[in-house]
Structure 1
Amino acid sequence: MTDRSLLPCGNKPNCVSTQDNRDAYNIEPFRLTERANLNLVEQAALRLPGAKLAEQQDHYLRIECTSKIMRFVDDLELRIEGNSLIVRSESRLGYSDFGVNRKRADQLRELLKADNLIQ
């Protein structure tokens, strides 16, 4: 799968991103603390429901999140650039995600805050 972390979302309401300026798709930036690194971000992200590591590169992670009942797979892409964590969460299938990806980004934000990885 291609790294899409820096791309804005498409036009279907099944994606959120820190890189998208449109209100329906935008999520607030994640500002990293000095102690944050990719391994600690990965540990936090893997505590999300249904999460498993799919790909890891130098400053990039792709986490696959599988829904419990219907087994839908969403891609959570994370990239560290300077003191920012770029976050993009998108459903692989379907038109609407009923807010699941925004909820996942909010859950990730809370996990990272609890671990003192973001401000």
Structure 2
Amino acid sequence: MYKIITLAAVAATLLGCSNGEITMQDRSTQPCGDKPNCVSTQDSREKFTLAPFTLTENASLDEIEKAALSLGQAKTANKDQNYLRIEYTSRVFRFVDDLELRIEGNSLIVRSESRTGHSDFGVNRKRADALRDALKQAGLI
């Protein structure tokens, strides 16, 4: 029993340390890779694609940021003119997912991906769906 607890503690520590990426390249317009831990409005493959997000006239990056942060366990990592990256950290193992948002005309490009692991068990798709609901409630899409 002691060995199992020790191994679990070591694994959690190592996994937690692997998520410390501070700078990251903007990948908002890129399609997802081949691992099932990503969804994007820019990817046409069925298991990765998200329906378009069409913005209302009153949508702003600041309002979109508020909606995205309301999903919990989130912090703004990068914010530029029309680009926003928010990091979501899981409670137990401290895995980090990146939600990248870019305004292009009246469209919001959305890309959500786990930094580590192969599968995310649908977490990023659920997050994108929750973002869509929050943006609708705020009158932004």
Report the TM-score when normalising by structure 1: 0.98
Matching residue of 2:3? none
Matching residue of 1:105? 128
How many residues are matched?
118
More helix by share: 2
The alignment status of 1:77 with 2:100, answered yes or no, reads yes
Matching residue of 1:117? 140
Instruction: Specify the structure having the higher radius of gyration (Cα).
Output: 2
Matching residue of 2:74? 51
After superposing on structure 2, the runs of 4+ consecutive aligned residues of structure 1 that deviate more than 3 Å are: none
* 5+ long unaligned stretches in structure 2: 1-23
* 5+ long unaligned stretches in structure 1: none
User: Could you give the per-residue CA deviations for residues 26-50 of structure 1, whole angstroms, max 9, x where no partner exists?
Assistant: 0100000011010100011111121
User: Could you give the per-residue CA deviations for residues 32-70 of structure 1, whole angstroms, max 9, x where no partner exists?
Assistant: 001101010001111112110000011000000001111
- 2: CA distance between counterparts of 1:88 and 1:48? 15
More strand by share: 1
Aligned match of 1:13 in 12, 36, 48? 36
Indicate the SS of the match to 2:87.
strand
> What letter is aligned with 1:18?
T
The alignment status of 1:40 with 2:63, answered yes or no, reads yes
Cα RMSD (Å) of the superposition?
Answer: 0.5
- 2: CA distance between counterparts of 1:87 and 1:10? 15
Once structures 1 and 2 are overlaid, which stretch shifts more, 65-74 or 102-111?
A: 65-74
Between the two structures, name the one with larger relative contact order (CA 8 Å, sep ≥ 6): 1
Report the TM-score when normalising by structure 2: 0.83
